[in-house]
Structure 1
């Protein structure tokens, strides 16, 4: 593929500024070009524009846009359909969304063969089994009959790659193909892509993570605000970066960065003196709180019944202790039991055996009425902040509701309620509303967000802004403990760095204790004082983070650490 001076915009061509402006690159057979950049830099727009998928309201122009020597500018949709899959394959980030949930993956792969070849049914089936085996999907004969929802994340991604290479296209465009995958699955997918490259396939790999692309890329192009700001051999870009954006992306990689070292140049938001009174920990003077341990789990067991009636042991005898003012990291692959452990710690799921204690008091074994007194001591930050918000509420309404413990509904008392109340009740409501407003502003200040965002809804915020609002909501009750379940896995590496710096700053300012759950060992290494490694519902290794990462004892931990992407030349 050759691209010269690609310009893409949306809306009327003469009335809108382009989102891509003058992008140029080429990909040779057997070569991997990595196009890297932050969210919003134009990476995915580039990928879609190269495939004629920019959108109905998009305009695209280029001095040259050629595929296998053929000019593809101005192709009709019918012509593009003949080329997609045959001349260029596409692998997207979210295989669960990209694959048809109603069809077995074998039929999905076979469809491209049916549309683009003259192979009979038996030959198509044989080819499907061949490409599934080629991408390393074990038991291809059984997998071919499964739907996307019946496969693991790694299996779905392999099936998506199989569909993309079924016709042996000379070019493969992979748009964030490893984001949010476990480190071992990520390593397997990168090895698979490396094998395709060795076989002569040209690969355009789109990513925000320079450590990941360093494993496979021959050349790297850095995209920022719709322009390529730096381009060259991978070795030169990764070891001698020239542009500030490239240097910032490299600095944001958490792998092997010591605890407390800032990852982002942007200030994380120290709590101002004016905000401090509104963010006091709810149990700072709690006489029953133990001196050190704030959260303790003993022998947790949780079983679930599968749709076919069989039993799954999701958590099997898990025990841990979280010490005051420290971070305990729980790491493991998808399905290891991490999220179930978090739900058990929050008493959102009842254990079949074992106990959770908060500040020395029974929590999981207590009645909900008794737990309600302890719940303000815990805050929760989830992976998908957007799904955890009511999309109809503004940022101010989300935070007011959290500040009021749910009593405020969609904000302060309504005008109609105030009219119906007595003058004294109305005055009390007005005072409470003013206090809530001050606390909302203090929360925004604490997480480094401007007041101008108060009227906006979550859908109109960036991923990093949404996660900051999620953290602010978790701080609303003045908790002692934050339970963070994959809070940065869906963020690009620079926004991830800002959120990690923010959590570190808040922990030091407020004395928070963090239970931090992630599949990313680089993140866990950077944020944690202690680490617990989970496998098949059990903790197989635990200890001081520095010791576990320097001298892992369990074979599974050794495998995980060996798969961590690092920049090495």
Structure 2
């Protein structure tokens, strides 16, 4: 840190100020963490050991539930009221922090360790300007006057690369973009110049270009001498800045070593599985995950928050051949199942100005193929999906489904076509009624599909009078319908690789991957020909993401589905797509066969996106 302010603040949290000579940012020996009364349950962390030196980045990687965030929170005294924490050594900036009271922890947070979380919008106070939020930490932990605090806020905002910092510091978090919010959060974490920065999934769900900027920012902090503990599930991301990598699985570190060694010569099966799950540069049709046996739920669930049983992985099957490689040869013989022509959508901002969200978007989706739409946040991807689904009315242009007018049709006519379209959304949990069980969610979808008519005919087209006998009674019809619906629900669960034992569970008690599988099962209830997938894997761990992508691939092969797949993740789009459309500011700026676009991008924006994709190469 340069300048008098930086020097003074640097001494505040330094080992010399604490009266110790050990300059290690953090040292952990045999960390054990559990929840509830000790001895009543197995610990969620057991025997974890590591250390981080100044100017070094240690990345702890693992799937959800492996204990990554519990590790980070234990270093901040934030493991929770019901948690118990034991360690042979737990020190920050050379000072033992075991047994600290909450009052003492408040003095150490920010000074000896800073924290950057995944969701900056939630982490920042929505009611305070970001400049004031940063200044408050300086007011509480230093003796700087108002003018000096203001100067320090500007200094750290400039340090994290926030453009026009003097004006941006007056804005609240909701007025900033995702990348700007994350920079402001990092500025708040480093304002007191702590020797250790814990970054817990700081780039998850960010656009690839913003992700690259945040990773470069963290790398610059490392070069300036800050120790960084980076928590992530994505080995390709951490490979950009990590000096060492520790792989965490079920509360144990199963592999640890120099980053290059772990990424190029992994020894543990968990590490190898995580590397295999990364979709970047993996050809279309190549399987990303081992074939999994369906997870069996616990016999009884004492709490709605009980953890689901982990999947039992079997030996990986040989990679599937790239079954879609002959797409170009067969394209001329494919039907067009979905067509958008000249779609335009405008919105009015709160200040009365007009935003052109979608500007002349046109594309065609061929039967049995996947069209990937990629772009950064705000490019118009989700608005396009809503226009396709007729959830939003276009200001101009039209959507045609199976050759028939859809967006321009009356709702009565659209209702006949709606079963042909299924939708899978990013946040499966918020798309479910949390009061309903899995069975109720799927029964509702099956019942609605039956009322609208499934693939093969319009509602009411069948002969229900029977042949040579009296009409069925209402009771027998109800019983028959109930049995048929349950059979259909079981078929849907089987199609997405889930066991019948999950039927009684509510969405909140399922894992992220299980919820997304239920979401896909619900979308399949009407036997659709087209699936609209809007960021369906962006919030999932890389291994769970791989399982869901493989599932969609399998379903496409088996059912002949056509997919409109929307994502900001170029690695995912490259892996799943036959055709690609790149969106920028509401327009499609480049389109073509996926292999061509990724091998030889023509538009500068596409080139910039591809250049920002994290890869494992050194």
The structure-2 alpha-carbon separation of the partners of 1:169 and 1:519, relative to structure 1 and needing over 3 Å to count, comes to same
Q: Distance in 1 between matches of 2:547 and 2:410?
A: 39
> Partner residue of 2:391?
348
Q: Is 1:2–1:64's contact at 8 Å kept on the other side of the alignment?
A: yes
The structure-2 alpha-carbon separation of the partners of 1:98 and 1:471, relative to structure 1 and needing over 3 Å to count, comes to same
* SS of residue matched to 2:371: strand
CA-CA distance at 1:5 after TM superposition = 0.2
- Select which of 563, 568, 581 maps to 1:532: 581
Q: Is 1:301–1:315's contact at 8 Å kept on the other side of the alignment?
A: yes
* SS of residue matched to 1:138: coil
> Which aligned pairs between 1:226-237 and structure 2 lie closer than 5 A?
226-237=251-262
- Select which of 322, 332, 353 maps to 1:310: 353
CA-CA distance at 1:423 after TM superposition = 8.7
> Partner residue of 2:6?
none
Q: Is 2:449–2:526's contact at 8 Å kept on the other side of the alignment?
A: no
CA-CA distance at 1:291 after TM superposition = 5.6
Q: Is 2:65–2:250's contact at 8 Å kept on the other side of the alignment?
A: yes
Q: Distance in 2 between matches of 1:406 and 1:156?
A: 42
> Partner residue of 2:267?
242
* SS of residue matched to 1:445: helix
TM-score of the aligned structures, taking structure 1 as reference length: 0.93
CA-CA distance at 1:544 after TM superposition = 0.3
CA-CA distance at 1:552 after TM superposition = 0.3
Q: Distance in 2 between matches of 1:466 and 1:121?
A: 49
Say whether 1:105 aligns with 2:130: yes
> Partner residue of 1:388?
431
Say whether 1:431 aligns with 2:474: no
- Select which of 162, 168, 172 maps to 1:147: 172
- Select which of 377, 390, 398 maps to 2:420: 377
- Select which of 543, 549, 567 maps to 1:500: 549
Structure ranking higher on relative contact order (CA contacts 8 Å, 6+ apart): 1
CA-CA distance at 1:407 after TM superposition = 8.1
Q: Distance in 2 between matches of 1:391 and 1:445?
A: 22
Say whether 1:132 aligns with 2:157: yes
> Partner residue of 1:222?
247
Shifted more, 114-123 versus 232-241: the winner is 114-123
Q: Is 1:268–1:498's contact at 8 Å kept on the other side of the alignment?
A: no
List alignment gaps of at least 5 residues for structure 1: 270-289, 409-421
Q: Distance in 2 between matches of 1:426 and 1:52?
A: 61
Say whether 1:548 aligns with 2:597: yes
List alignment gaps of at least 5 residues for structure 2: 1-25, 295-332, 452-470
> Partner residue of 1:67?
92
Q: Distance in 2 between matches of 1:423 and 1:529?
A: 49
1:459-513 deviation line (CA, Å, top 9, x unaligned): 0000000000000000000000000000000000000000000000000000000
> Partner residue of 1:209?
234
Shifted more, 390-399 versus 425-434: the winner is 425-434
Q: Is 2:450–2:526's contact at 8 Å kept on the other side of the alignment?
A: no
Question: RMSD of the TM alignment (CA)?
Answer: 1.3
Q: Distance in 2 between matches of 1:96 and 1:462?
A: 23
> Partner residue of 1:178?
203
- Select which of 181, 185, 189 maps to 1:160: 185
Q: Distance in 2 between matches of 1:563 and 1:291?
A: 34
Say whether 1:298 aligns with 2:327: no
Q: Is 1:30–1:200's contact at 8 Å kept on the other side of the alignment?
A: yes
1:325-353 deviation line (CA, Å, top 9, x unaligned): 00000000000000000000000000000
Q: Is 1:34–1:217's contact at 8 Å kept on the other side of the alignment?
A: yes
Q: Distance in 2 between matches of 1:250 and 1:131?
A: 35
Say whether 1:561 aligns with 2:603: no
- Select which of 310, 313, 335 maps to 2:378: 335
Q: Distance in 2 between matches of 1:338 and 1:423?
A: 49
CA-CA distance at 1:142 after TM superposition = 1.3
Q: Distance in 1 between matches of 2:142 and 2:255?
A: 41
Q: Distance in 2 between matches of 1:59 and 1:552?
A: 53
- Select which of 81, 88, 92 maps to 2:117: 92
Q: Distance in 2 between matches of 1:134 and 1:8?
A: 36
Q: Is 1:268–1:501's contact at 8 Å kept on the other side of the alignment?
A: no
Q: Distance in 1 between matches of 2:147 and 2:472?
A: 82
Q: Is 2:59–2:238's contact at 8 Å kept on the other side of the alignment?
A: yes
TM-score of the aligned structures, taking structure 2 as reference length: 0.86
Q: Distance in 1 between matches of 2:616 and 2:497?
A: 31
1:50-87 deviation line (CA, Å, top 9, x unaligned): 10000000000000001111000000001010010011
Q: Distance in 1 between matches of 2:293 and 2:528?
A: 20
Q: Is 1:208–1:492's contact at 8 Å kept on the other side of the alignment?
A: yes
> Which aligned pairs between 1:456-475 and structure 2 lie closer than 5 A?
456-475=505-524
1:2-51 deviation line (CA, Å, top 9, x unaligned): 00000000000121110000000000000000000001100000000110
> Which aligned pairs between 1:247-326 and structure 2 lie closer than 5 A?
247-267=272-292, 292-326=335-369
Q: Is 1:268–1:505's contact at 8 Å kept on the other side of the alignment?
A: no
The structure-2 alpha-carbon separation of the partners of 1:307 and 1:483, relative to structure 1 and needing over 3 Å to count, comes to same
Q: Is 2:449–2:525's contact at 8 Å kept on the other side of the alignment?
A: no
Q: Distance in 2 between matches of 1:493 and 1:380?
A: 22
Q: Is 1:268–1:447's contact at 8 Å kept on the other side of the alignment?
A: no
Q: Distance in 2 between matches of 1:352 and 1:142?
A: 35
